[in-house]
C-alpha cells in the first residue's frame, strides 16, 4: 500500500534536532512516500548530521529566510534537485532573548522586528520563493503556538505567532486561485531547541499537565508531525486558511 505522500516533493525547514517536530515531519514524509529537501540556518552542518538519521538520504541547503539573495536562488536550487514542489513546511521561529522571559514591557522595537520578520513574515517570503515550483498547486503548512492567549514567558513570540496566523489566512486568500493551500498546525509544547531558548519554558509547559484532556508528552513530537503530513497530503483538498490543533485538546478547555 502506497503512502499518502507518494510522489510528492516537499521542502522542509527547521530540522535542528531529532526531538523537533520538523525532524519527525521529515521522517514521516519519507515513510509516506515523499521526496524531500531540507533547509538550514545558520549551521547547515548540524542539520546534515541530523538528516543522516532519516530513513533516506536527503540534500540540505542553506537558507536564511531574512536574506533576499538566499530566497532568490531557492527555486533554482530546489528545482534542479526535485524538479518542482508539492509542499512546503515552515518550521521557523526566533526571538532575541530580550523579547522573551517576562520582558514584554521593556523589549525594544528592534528585537520585536526581528521576531516578526523571522517568525511571521518569513511564511510569506518562503512561500513566494517556492511558488514558481508549485505549478500544479500545492500545500504550505506552518507551525504555530496558539496565539489566542498570553502565555507565561512567551512575550513577543505571542504577537509574532498571532501575525503568523494572520499571514496564513491572507496567503490562503491570495493563493487559492493557484490551487495552493495554506494551513497551520497549532502544536502543544515540545522539548525542542526552540523551547529550550524560552526562559521559564517549564512553567508554560506545566499548563498541559492540569488542563489537557488527552495526556500530553513533551518528548513526543510525532503527533504534530502526523498533522503536518496529513495537511501536506491530498486528504485535505479543500481546506485552507485553517489552524488544526494538535495539543491534547487544551485549546478547548477554559480551566
Catalytic annotation, residues: 154, 161
36 is in an annotated binding site: no
248: left (phi over 0), alpha (psi -120 to 50) or beta: left
Q: Write the DSSP assignment of 53-91 as a string of letters.
A: TSSS---EEE--TT-HHHHHHHHHHHHHHHSS-SEEEE-
Instruction: For residue 77, say whether it is annotated as part of any ligand binding site.
Output: no
Flag whether 161 is marked binding: yes
Q: Is 191 a known ligand-binding residue? A: yes
The answer to whether the annotation marks 138 as part of a ligand binding site is no
Annotated ligand binding at 195? The verdict is no
Question: Quick count: other Cβ atoms within 10 Å of Cβ 96?
Answer: 18
CA distance 92 to 243: 16
CA 161: distance to chain centroid?
11
* Helical segments of the chain, H only: 21-31, 44-51, 68-82, 109-116, 122-130, 157-175, 193-196, 201-205, 207-211, 222-232
Among residues 197, 202, 243, which one has the least CA distance to residue 224? Answer: 243
- Quote the CA–CA distance of 52 and 49 in Å, as a whole number: 6
Check whether 190 is labelled as a binding-site residue: yes
User: Is 193 known as a binding-site position?
Assistant: yes
Answer yes or no: is 56 a known binding residue: no
Annotated binding-site residue numbers: 14, 20-21, 64-65, 92, 95, 161, 190-194
Annotated binding-site residue numbers for substrate: 95
Annotated binding-site residue numbers for NAD(+): 14, 20-21, 64-65, 92, 161, 190-194
Amino acid at each position: 500500500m502506497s503512502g499518502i505522500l507518494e510522489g510528492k516533493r516537499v521542502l522542509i525547514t527547521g530540522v535542528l534536532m531529532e526531538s523537533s517536530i520538523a525532524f519527525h515531519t521529515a521522517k514521516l514524509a519519507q515513510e509516506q512516500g515523499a521526496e524531500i529537501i531540507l533547509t538550514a540556518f545558520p549551521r547547515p552542518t548540524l542539520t546534515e548530521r541530523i538528516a543522516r538519521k532519516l530513513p533516506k538520504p536527503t540534500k540540505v541547503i542553506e537558507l536564511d529566510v531574512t536574506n533576499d539573495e538566499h530566497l532568490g536562488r531557492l527555486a533554482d536550487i530546489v528545482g534542479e534537485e526535485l524538479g518542482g514542489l508539492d509542499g512546503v513546511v515552515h518550521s521557523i521561529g526566533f526571538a532575541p532573548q530580550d523579547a522573551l522571559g517576562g520582558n514584554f514591557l521593556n523589549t525594544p522595537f528592534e528585537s520585536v522586528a526581528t521576531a516578526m520578520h523571522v517568525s511571521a513574515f518569513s511564511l510569506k517570503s518562503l512561500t513566494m520563493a517556492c511558488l514558481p515550483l508549485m505549478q500544479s498547486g500545492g500545500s504550505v503548512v506552518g507551525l504555530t503556538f496558539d496565539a489566542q492567549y498570553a502565555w507565561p514567558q512567551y512575550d513577543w513570540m505571542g504577537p509574532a505567532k498571532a501575525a503568523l496566523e494572520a499571514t496564513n489566512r491572507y496567503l490562503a486568500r491570495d493563493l487559492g486561485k493557484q490551487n495552493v493551500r495554506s494551513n497551520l498546525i497549532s502544536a502543544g509544547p515540545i522539548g525542542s531547541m526552540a523551547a529550550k531558548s524560552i526562559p521559564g519554558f517549564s512553567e508554560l509547559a506545566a499548563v498541559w499537565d492540569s488542563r489537557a484532556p488527552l495526556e500530553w508528552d513533551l518528548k513526543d513530537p510525532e503527533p504534530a508531525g502526523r498533522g503536518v503530513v496529513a495537511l501536506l497530503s491530498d486528504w485535505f483538498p479543500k481546506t485552507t486558511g485553517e489552524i488544526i490543533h494538535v495539543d491534547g485538546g487544551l485549546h478547548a478547555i477554559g480551566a
